[in-house]
C-alpha cells in the first residue's frame, strides 16, 4: 500500500483570537491562537473550553466564559487535560506485540505495517468465520458520537456483529421512557428560579455535575428545600435539608413508601392523575403493599425521614433530578419507573416550578432522529447485510457463548473504552480475550487493554480531533474541532477507520479528504446550523422542538396511552415478545446479591460493595497523570466504623477485599460515617494493573427490563429493552493484611 498520511488542515480558521498573551507557569507567553471546543468526557456538564495553542502544542486550558451553563469554569479533570495531551507517556507510534498476550511486550511499527497487519487478519477472519466474527468495542472514554458512525460504516460494510446496549443508564432510560415517553430535561436556569424543593436521586454532582451548584444554591437561597437520596454521604448530601440513605438497591421501596404515605394522607394530585395519567388503580394496589413502616425496615431509613420527604414532596413544587447510581442494580428500570410515578401522582411534571429530569434525548441523538446516523453508517449503494447484535453489558459472556454456538467472535478493535477495566469480573473477561485471533486497541496510554492487544494504535486526545457531543443535561452544543495538529504519530479515530476501509477495498465509501466536520454536517445539518456551533462561534442553543425549555408542558406524552403511564402498556406488550422483568407497575425486585436474596452468601460476604465515579477521574482515565495522582492518592475503601471494628481495622490499615470472583490487596481502609453498616465503597475505574480495580470483584449480573441472556441478539431497542451492568449486585468481605 501507499504510505499512509494524516489529513492536514490549517487550523487557524478556528481561532477565536490570534497572538494572545497568556500567563503559563508564572510567565507571560504569546499563544498563536485560542480555539473554542467542549469536553466530551462523559459527565453531565459538557463544559465549554478555551484552548491556548503555541507551536501546535496546547499550553493552557480555560473554561469558556460565554457558555451559558458552565460559565468559564472547568473541573480538575478539565484542567488536567493539559497534562494528558502533553504527557511523555502517550502512545507515540503504532506497536505490534512480540510477547505473550498480557505481557505488554511490543515493537515499534510503521502505520502501513500496522494497518496492513490488521487488514490481513480481518480478511482471514472473515474468510474463515464470516463477517460476524468481528466486532468493535467502544463506549464513552470519549463520548463523542460522530466517529462512532464512521466506525459503523466500516462495520456495516464488513458485515460485522454490532455493539448495542450500555453499562450505566439504559435500564433507567427504558423505565423512564415507558413512563413518560420521549426523554427531555428542564434546564436549571428555569427550575432554579421557581422550584420549592429539589429531589436529587442517585447523583453526586460534586464529582459528575459540578455546574449544577450555582443553580442549586440559587434555589436554596430563595428557600427551596434540598432532599438527597444516596447510600453514600456525598458533599451535596452534607448540604441537604434531608438526606435519605437507603440500603443499596432499595430505591423502589423508598418511592413506593413515599407514595403510600402521600396517597393514604390524601396529598396526591387527583385532578392531574385523572387527566394525565394511566393506570392509577393498578399502581395503587402495589403501593398498598408498602406502608412506611415496611419501607423503613427494607431500606434502613428511619420512618420519620420517609414521612418528612413525602410531605415536602407532595406539598412543595418539586424538581426531581435523577442520576444513574440506582441503575447499577438488577432493578434499575423499576427504580426509575417508581420515581417517575412519584412525580406524576403529585403533578410535578410539565411545569416551570418543578419537572421530572432523568436524561435528555441528546444523550443518544440518533434515537429521536436529531442525528441521522444512517446517512453515514449505511452509505448509498452499499450492500449492508443484517447481522447479529452483541450487548456490551455482557461482552465477554457473548464471546464465550458465540464460540459455544460455533459462530465465534475472533477479532475486536477496542477504542474509547476500557474493555479489561470496565467489564465486570475481570478474570472472566481476560479468559474471553484469550480466544481472539486479533485484538486491536486505539489508545493514548499503555492501559490494561494494551497489555492484551496484538496491535496498539496511537489515538488522539479529544483536543486533536473533531467531535459531536451534545450534553445529556443542558441544551447547548459546541462542536469539537481539532485545536492543534495531532502529537507524535497519533491519528484521529475517523481517519483510522477510513484508512482501514480503503485498505479493505472500499475507497468509494471513504473519501480521503472527508473531514470530521463534513460528517457532522451530514449528521445534524438538517436540524441545526452547524456553523453556529463551530469555533470561533458557539455554543449554539439547540432547537426548541428537540430540546424544549419546559419539557412536557403540553402534557401530551409519547406513550401508547398518550398519558404518563403508571401502568405501562408498552412494558406489558414488550414482555409478550421478550423475556425479562416487564411488570407493568413498579415493584421492588431484590438485587441478585444482597442480604435478603442470597442470605447464605451474605454470611460469607457481609458487605455490599458500591463504587462512585471518582471526582478526579472519568472511569479509567486520568489517574496516570501526576496532578491527579497527587490529589487523589492511593486507593481507599470506605466502610462504617461498626464494620471496621468487627474486622479489627483502623484508619490507614491496608486490607484485603475479596469474594469468590477475586481479591484486591493493599487497599487503604477508611472507617467513616460516609457509609452505613453493611455497605462499602471503592471508587470505580482504577486500572487492573495498579491493583485496585473494583471490577475484579463485581458481578456479571445485568439490569432489565429485558433479560439479554448471554448478549447475542437479533433484535434490540435501547429504550424498550434497556439493560445495564448491575455492578452493585456485589457482596464482599474485608480483612486486615
pLDDT tens track for 478-526: 999 999 999 999 999 999 999 999 999 999 999 999 999 999 999 999 9
Q: What does the alpha-carbon distance between residue 207 and residue 97 come to, in Å, rounded to a whole number?
A: 37
Closest CA to 567 of 280, 262, 174: 280
pLDDT digits (tens, 9 = 90+) for 643-674: 999 999 999 999 999 999 999 999 999 999 99
Contact 317, 196 (CB under 8 A): yes
Helical (H) or strand (E) element with 333: helix 332-345
Give me the count of residues in the chain. Answer: 737
| Percentage of residues in the chain having pLDDT higher than 70 | 100
In the numeric block, which cell numbers belong to residue 26?
A: 508564572
Per-residue CA distances from 599 to 247, 593, 610 (Å): 15, 9, 18
The rounded Cα 125 to chain-centroid distance in angstroms is: 31
Mapped onto helix, strand or coil, the DSSP state of residue 153 is helix
pLDDT of residue 108: 98
Angle at 579 between CA 577 and CA 580, to 5 degrees: 125
Segment (H or E) for 260: helix 251-264
The owner of cell 430563595 is 222
* Residue in 173, 472, 575 with CA at minimum distance from that of residue 337: 173
Task: State the Cα–Cα distance between residues 196 and 234, nearest whole angstrom.
Answer: 22
Note the pLDDT tens digit of each residue in 126-149: 999 999 999 999 998 899 999 999
**pTM summary value:** 0.96
Average pLDDT over residues 679-688: 93
Residue 536, exposed/middle/buried by CB under 10 A (0-12, 13-18, 19+)?
Answer: middle
DSSP three-state, residue 67 = coil
Q: Is the pLDDT of residue 1 over 80?
A: no
What's the distance, CA 33 to chain centroid? 33
Please give the radius of gyration of the chain, using alpha carbons only, rounded to the nearest integer. Answer: 25
Residues of the chain above pLDDT 90, percent: 95
CA angle at residue 463 from 457 to 468, to 5 degrees? 95
What Å distances lie between residue 262 and 146, 202, 273, 344, CA to CA?
A: 46, 22, 13, 12
User: Where residue 256 falls among pLDDT bands split at 50, 70, 90?
Assistant: very high
CB 688 within 8 A of CB 448: yes
Amino acid at each position: 500500500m501507499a504510505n499512509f498520511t494524516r489529513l492536514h488542515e490549517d487550523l487557524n480558521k478556528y481561532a477565536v483570537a490570534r497572538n494572545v498573551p497568556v500567563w503559563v507557569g508564572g510567565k507571560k507567553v504569546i499563544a498563536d491562537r485560542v480555539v473554542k471546543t467542549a469536553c466530551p468526557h462523559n459527565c453531565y456538564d459538557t463544559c465549554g473550553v478555551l484552548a491556548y495553542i503555541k507551536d501546535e502544542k496546547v499550553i493552557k486550558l480555560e473554561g469558556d466564559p460565554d457558555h451559558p451553563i458552565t460559565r468559564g469554569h472547568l473541573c480538575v479533570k478539565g484542567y488536567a487535560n493539559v497534562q494528558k495531551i502533553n504527557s511523555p507517556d502517550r502512545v507515540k507510534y503504532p506497536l505490534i506485540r512480540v510477547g505473550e498476550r498480557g505481557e505488554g511486550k511490543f515493537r515499534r511499527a510503521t502505520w502501513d505495517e500496522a494497518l496492513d497487519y490488521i487488514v490481513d487478519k480481518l480478511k482471514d477472519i472473515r474468510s474463515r468465520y464470516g463477517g460476524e466474527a468481528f466486532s468493535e468495542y467502544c463506549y464513552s472514554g470519549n463520548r463523542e458520537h460522530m466517529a462512532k458512525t464512521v466506525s459503523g460504516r466500516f462495520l456495516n460494510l464488513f458485515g460485522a456483529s454490532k455493539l448495542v446496549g450500555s453499562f450505566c443508564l439504559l435500564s433507567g432510560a427504558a423505565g423512564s421512557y415507558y413512563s413518560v415517553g420521549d426523554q427531555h430535561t428542564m434546564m436549571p436556569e428555569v427550575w432554579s428560579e421557581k422550584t420549592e424543593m429539589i429531589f436529587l436521586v442517585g447523583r453526586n454532582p460534586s464529582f459528575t455535575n459540578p455546574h449544577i451548584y450555582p443553580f442549586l444554591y440559587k434555589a436554596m437561597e430563595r428557600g427551596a428545600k434540598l432532599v438527597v437520596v444516596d447510600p453514600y454521604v456525598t458533599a451535596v448530601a452534607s448540604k441537604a435539608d434531608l438526606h435519605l440513605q437507603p440500603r443499596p438497591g432499595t430505591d423502589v421501596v423508598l418511592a413506593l413508601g413515599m407514595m403510600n404515605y402521600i396517597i393514604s394522607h390524601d396529598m396526591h394530585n387527583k385532578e392531574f392523575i385523572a387527566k394525565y395519567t394511566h393506570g392509577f388503580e393498578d399502581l395503587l394496589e402495589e403501593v398498598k403493599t408498602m406502608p412506611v413502616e415496611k419501607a423503613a425496615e427494607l431500606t434502613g431509613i428511619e420512618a420519620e425521614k420517609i414521612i418528612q420527604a413525602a410531605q415536602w414532596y407532595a406539598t412543595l413544587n418539586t424538581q426531581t433530578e435523577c442520576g444513574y447510581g440506582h441503575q447499577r442494580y438488577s432493578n434499575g428500570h423499576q427504580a426509575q419507573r417508581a420515581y417517575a410515578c412519584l412525580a406524576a401522582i403529585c403533578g410535578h411534571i410539565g411545569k416551570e416550578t418543578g419537572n421530572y429530569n432523568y436524561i435528555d434525548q441528546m444523550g443518544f441523538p440518533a434515537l429521536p432522529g436529531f442525528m441521522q446516523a444512517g446517512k453515514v453508517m449505511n452509505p448509498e449503494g452499499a450492500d449492508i447485510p443484517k447481522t447479529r447484535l452483541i450487548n456490551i453489558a455482557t461482552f465477554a459472556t457473548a464471546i464465550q457463548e458465540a464460540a459455544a454456538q460455533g459462530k465465534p467472535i475472533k477479532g475486536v478493535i477496542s477504542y474509547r473504552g476500557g474493555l479489561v477495566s470496565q467489564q465486570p469480573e475481570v478474570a472472566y473477561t481476560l479468559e474471553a480475550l484469550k480466544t481472539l485471533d486479533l485484538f486491536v486497541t486505539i489508545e493514548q496510554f499503555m492501559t490494561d487493554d494494551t497489555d492484551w492487544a496484538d496491535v496498539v494504535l496511537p489515538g488522539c486526545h479529544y483536543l486533536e480531533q473533531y467531535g459531536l457531543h451534545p450534553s445529556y443535561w443542558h441544551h447547548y452544543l459546541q462542536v469539537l474541532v481539532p485545536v492543534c495538529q495531532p502529537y507524535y504519530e497519533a491519528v484521529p479515530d475517523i481517519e483510522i477507520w477510513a484508512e482501514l476501509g480503503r485498505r479493505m477495498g472500499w475507497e468509494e465509501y471513504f473519501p480521503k479528504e472527508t473531514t470530521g466536520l463534513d460528517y457532522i454536517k451530514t449528521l445534524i445539518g438538517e436540524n441545526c446550523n452547524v456553523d453556529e456551533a463551530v469555533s470561533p462561534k458557539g455554543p449554539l442553543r439547540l432547537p426548541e422542538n428537540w430540546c424544549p425549555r419546559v419539557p412536557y408542558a403540553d402534557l401530551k406524552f409519547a406513550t401508547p396511552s398518550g398519558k404518563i403511564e403508571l401502568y405501562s402498556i408498552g412494558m406489558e406488550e414488550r414482555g409478550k415478545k421478550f423475556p425479562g422483568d416487564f411488570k407493568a407497575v413498579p415493584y421492588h425486585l431484590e438485587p441478585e446479591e444482597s442480604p435478603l436474596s442470597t442470605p447464605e452468601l451474605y454470611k460469607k460476604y457481609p458487605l455490599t460493595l458500591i463504587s462512585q465515579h471518582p471526582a478526579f477521574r472519568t472511569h479509567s482515565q486520568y489517574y496516570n497523570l501526576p496532578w491527579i495522582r497527587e490529589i487523589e492518592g492511593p486507593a481507599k475503601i470506605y466502610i462504617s466504623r461498626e464494620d471496621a471494628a468487627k474486622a479489627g481495622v483502623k484508619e490507614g490499615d491496608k486490607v484485603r477485599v475479596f469474594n469468590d470472583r477475586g481479591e484486591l490487596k493493599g487497599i487503604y481502609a477508611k472507617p467513616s460515617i460516609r457509609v452505613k453498616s453493611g455497605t462499602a465503597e471503592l471508587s470505580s475505574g482504577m486500572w487492573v494493573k495498579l491493583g485496585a480495580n473494583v471490577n475484579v470483584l463485581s458481578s456479571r449480573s445485568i439490569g432489565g427490563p429485558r433479560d439479554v441472556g448471554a448478549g447475542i441478539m437479533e433484535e434490540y431497542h435501547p429504550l424498550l429493552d434497556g439493560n445495564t451492568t448491575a455492578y452493585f449486585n456485589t457482596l464482599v468481605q474485608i480483612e486486615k493484611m
